[in-house]
Structure 1
Amino acid sequence: MNVNSYQPLSQKIPGTNQAKHLTMSLRTLMGECYSRMKLKERMIPESRVVEFSEVESEEECQRQITNNMRFIRLALKEHAIPITVVFNGSITKRKRCEEGSGGKLLRWRYPEFANTKKKCSKVPQLLQLLHILNERIKTKKNTTTVRDIYYGNIELFESQQMVEMLFQRIEAMFNVEKLFFNVVSTQKGLIYSGPRLQIGSQLFHAECQLVPYDQGEMIVQQNQQLKVIVLEKDAIFQQLIQCQEMIKDWIIVTGKGYPDHLSRELLHKLDLSLQGNVQFHIFTDSDPYGIDIVTKYMVKCPRLIHKGVLLNQLITRNTESNSMLVLLPLSLRDATFAMGLIRRLCKEEEEEEGSVRKHTMRQNLKYEVQRQLFFQRKGEMNVVNNGNVQQYFKWMYSRIH
């Protein structure tokens, strides 16, 4: 259809009160906009802004959520006007962010004028979660988990990771923690303590237990041989805790892959509670994702040191007696992730004025990823020393001492 054949909108809506205001034609708009993007921006209707901000009490939080939800319902249902939700949050490349007095401001528009479903789904997910939390504040319900909330509406939330991400937004939005709403993260990590360890009201001693919700005051039976060992894999954790004599002075933690909030908080509390001479060591797979897991733990526990499994350890111990050892090739996805990880580590080195230990640690992590890229190989810690975990750790700590 020829653009020149379009008539002004006022001629297409005769007899309406809006006719005198709608005199802009598509031809006029196209003449004023020099690009398709500009034309799209001009054709998107204006929205009403709904702002969430920091709260200091449950009553204030409840009042803010209730008032904003009422405002949103009127805008969408009664007046058919789009909304823009504004709140404090972290920057992502796909979000339009502004500097505000409270930090970074995120703007989520609904409905989103886009081609993908995901862009349109986050605001309904956020509003549903806010509605659930508001009801929890009103009724003073008992503590629940993120997992329970996810299974309450699987179709809307799509994944438990999505609920966790939305909670992070809400925590930044109101400047509170999940416990403010009587919600806790789902327990995922495991802990084993050789020496007697008391966290809050719970005692840990010579048995495997879930990382606790209640991470209050921490009391540890300390000695010169005390170590904190962090493991990426649950399988290695289960093998290592069978070596009772070797680990009698160790506290062992695993987040079963990427650590959850509770596991990272536990390391943080141990870091604060234990003496400065206590060693904190982490062991992961020799691949870019293992190094990335180390960086996640380091945020909460700066004195954590990456000890293995290193690629050169796998190569040097690749003997006839270790016939089970196989180094796998890095895939294109692995290599791309590794290069992005190196860029991030370099940027963090430049921006952060930390201790010499932290700077050295980041450099060592960067060198390990570069080594993996150079050899184009990666390896799993399950096969080190032909799968003999006890022998590997004995070898490691005989070298250290």
Structure 2
Amino acid sequence: VVVIRILVETLSQARAITRRDVYYRDVRLFSRQTAVDGVIDDLSYSLGLPCYELGVIASQKGLIFGDLRMEFANPGLIPVIPEKAKIFLDDDINAPHRLEYILVVEKEAVFKTLVDLETGRDGEGVSHNRIIVTGKGFPDQLTKRCIRNLATSFPQVPIFAFVDSDVYGLMILRHYSNQNEQNSHIPLIRYMGVELFDYLSGWLEITMRDFRVMKNFLVSLSHFLYANRRAATEHCRWLREIQRGMFCFKKSEMNVVLNKSVQDIDEYVNEKVKRYFQN
């Protein structure tokens, strides 16, 4: 009853609240976070509504950068790179300039490097008609919904993903393609790199634990591909990359490029995107 009262109060004020905030409203009553989570999940299931429609959101995690204009419904739900970036959940989105592609990167370090190059350290700026998003590893629901909303707002704009060429990078990529919320559209995200054979000099050894995880991932990926036939061709590239790593007992990370030069990683991304549009 207390949880329902808090949610009704939040919705009546057109605000949002995190699960953690609900817990801290009455710590003595709830005693533990799992008690709050269970009630919220039961309410969501019973009413047939996703949690965000009950006014409950996850703690913010993801980052986005781009030249966008938005009309906010629930502002400030994901951290903002100042000035040029705007964050949204279910907001109306439009791009003032021609948007060519949406770029999803696995790591925050890569995201910050690309943003630094985009804005220009010397103040002159680098002009790219793209939006850059990162979930800082495995994405939370807000970041996944952000990608979904971008795909809905710009249906003709391709979404490219750059993750490490290892089992964990590809698991993160698959996570972006999973939607747990009801009636959620799953956008097609194209795996662009890093590919194992891109950096022969930057290979890293995988461990036996990595190998076992890769083996299990192959099995689960086969079921995932069967359930997502719309993107079967794209997902087969994931299989190929995992099999390459298992055969060579190697992996490759984007940090290898980043350690050489910050410009190298931008050139790598641009070259991959250029090849896609030329094909």
Write the distance in 2 (CA, Å) between the matches of 1:333 and 1:241: 34
Distance in 2 between residues matched to 1:388 and 1:168, nearest whole Å:
46
Give the CA deviation at 1:365.
0.6
SS of the residue aligned with 1:398? helix
- Secondary structure of 2:90's counterpart equals coil
Deviations 1:10-52, CA, capped at 9 Å, x for gaps: xxxxxxxxxxxxxxxxxxxxxxxxxxxxxxxxxxxxxxxxxxx
Instruction: Spell out the pairing of 1:194-343 with structure 2 (5 A cutoff).
Output: 195-200=67-72, 207=83, 209=85, 211-212=87-88, 214-223=89-98, 226-244=100-118, 245-246=125-126, 248-276=128-156, 278-299=157-178, 301-315=186-200, 318=201, 325=202, 327-343=203-219
Q: Which string of whole-angstrom CA distances, capped at 9 and with x for unpartnered residues, describes residues 217-266 of structure 1? A: 2222242x622100111111111101124453110001111111111111
1:356-367 alignment, distance < 5 Å: 358-367=231-240
Secondary structure class of the residue paired with 1:241: helix
Superposed counterparts of 1:135-146, under 5 Å: 135-137=5-7, 139=9, 143-146=16-19
* 2:90 aligned partner, one-letter code: Q
Q: Which has the higher contact order (CA 8 A, sep 6+)?
A: 2
Q: Is contact 1:190-1:208 (8 Å) kept?
A: no
Compute the RMSD of aligned alpha carbons: 3.1
Q: Hey, what does 1:96 align to over in structure 2?
A: none
How far off is 1:163 after superposition?
A: 6.7
Specify the SS of the correspondent of 1:394. helix
Task: Identify the residue that residue 377 of structure 1 maps to in structure 2.
Answer: 250
2:64–2:81 contact (8 Å) kept in structure 1: no
How many angstroms does 1:150 deviate by?
Answer: 5.1
Instruction: Give me the whole-angstrom Cα distance separating, in 1, the residues matched to 2:165 and 2:38.
Output: 28
Change (3 A) 1:166 1:250: farther
Whether the aligned pair in 2 keeps the contact of 1:211 and 1:263 (CA below 8 Å) is: no
Please identify the structure whose Cα radius of gyration is greater: 1
Please list the CA deviations of residues 290-334 of structure 1 after superposition, one character each: whole Å capped at 9, or x if unmatched.
10111121235432111111111122xx2xxxxxx4x33222332
TM-score (structure 1 length as normaliser) = 0.55
AA in 2 matched with 1:134: I
Q: Percentage identity across aligned positions?
A: 25
Change (3 A) 1:139 1:314: same
Q: Which runs of 5+ in 1 are unaligned?
A: 1-130, 319-324
Structure 2 residue identity aligned to 1:288:
V
TM-score (norm 2): 0.77
Amino acid at match of 1:280: I
